[in-house]
Homo-oligomer: A and B are copies of this chain.
Amino acid sequence: MRLIRHFKYATSSILGVVGLLTLSGNLLADDGYHAQYANRFEVLPAISPIPANNSLTESKIELGKMLFFEPRISGSGVISCATCHNPALGWTDRIPRATGHAAQVGERNTPTVLNSGFFAAQFWDGRAADLEAQALGPIEADIEMNMSLDDAITRLKGFKEYQDAFARAYGGDGEKQITPNNVAHAMASFQRTLNTPNSPFDRYLQGDLAALTDQQKRGMALFADSGCNACHSGPAMTDSYFHVIKVPGSTDLGRFLVTKNEADKHAFKTPTLRNVAVTYPYFNNGGTATLEEAVQVMGKEMLGREYKKNQVADIVAFLHSLTGEMPHIEIPALP
């Protein structure tokens, strides 16, 4: 996995250099920012790292897509992964806190699944290490989909089409292949394809100096100079690590509830900044509606500084450049 990851970054870097050299108008030119800042960020690849124990195949992706849209593995029969991770809304729900089974409202904001294959920890509190470990939790959670895994597996086994799809994905007897582990692997495979490459910022990093406006470049510089990318690092602009933060209105103990370690009280995983402009509202409790407010909160809470109005505007303009190409997903016809 590490090898693949390095290979991808190497490829991105080469593409970046080629891009820079071939932009005739900007040949070896600089805009006063690129030479200084571009190497402090990473381009987002189109495919996230693939773990050795879950090869990425077309049949698993197709099956994972069906399962992602499948509401019949919920207690009510009407809630699927896509209900809260709504593809029409940046693969999240754009409400403060998730609404699940029987219209119950959870404690936390729904994170987008976009680019989640680049995260080294899943959920706000990191209680799952990877997408495979994450996939089944929401099915069983009583305030989310509220169905036991046994019932979900039994329900899937009832469809000949799922038996066939599991046989295509995993070989052998399809009905026997309908297991929690294989469900999780298929969903994880599908999610690894939900990436958003080619944002204006990525095009800029690769040498298209006109891909960002001057204001966005100022925002990028201020973002880096402020140290924001200490935590918002890597291709998905998250270190997948946990940092103590008390955002307005939140009393959530966060990572502490997983580790029982005092130091983890109110610690949450650094959220990705990719597509942050379309995945509002913000923070673990979804209590902050706009990017402007979110930038101010981060300045105060994490950096102990108060940004001026024009600085906030510059950073927000930069954050808008992180919206990439959305995956083109046709809704599957379920059995």
Contacts and interface: CB of A to CB of B under 8 A. Distances in A.
A interface secondary structure, majority: loop
Contacts of A102: 103
Contacts of A328: 330
A13 interface: no
A4 B78 CA distance: 38
A328 B333 CA distance: 9
Interface in A80-115: 80, 83-84, 86-90, 93-95, 99, 101-103
A334 interface: yes
Contacts of A95: 76-78
Interface bin, chain A:
20 to 34
A326 interface: yes
Contacts of A331: 87-88, 329-331
B89 A76 contact: no
Nearest to A76: B99
Given A78-B95, A99-B76, A102-B103, A90 B333 contact: yes
A88 B334 CA distance: 5
A71 B85 CA distance: 13
Given A71-B86, A71-B88, A88-B333, 10 more contacts: A69-B88, A71-B93, A72-B94, A78-B93, A78-B99, A88-B332, A102-B103, A103-B103, A326-B333, A331-B331
21 contacts: A70-B88, A71-B86, A71-B89, A76-B99, A77-B95, A78-B83, A78-B84, A83-B83, A87-B331, A87-B333, A88-B331, A88-B332, A88-B334, A89-B334, A102-B103, A103-B103, A278-B333, A326-B333, A328-B330, A329-B330, A329-B331
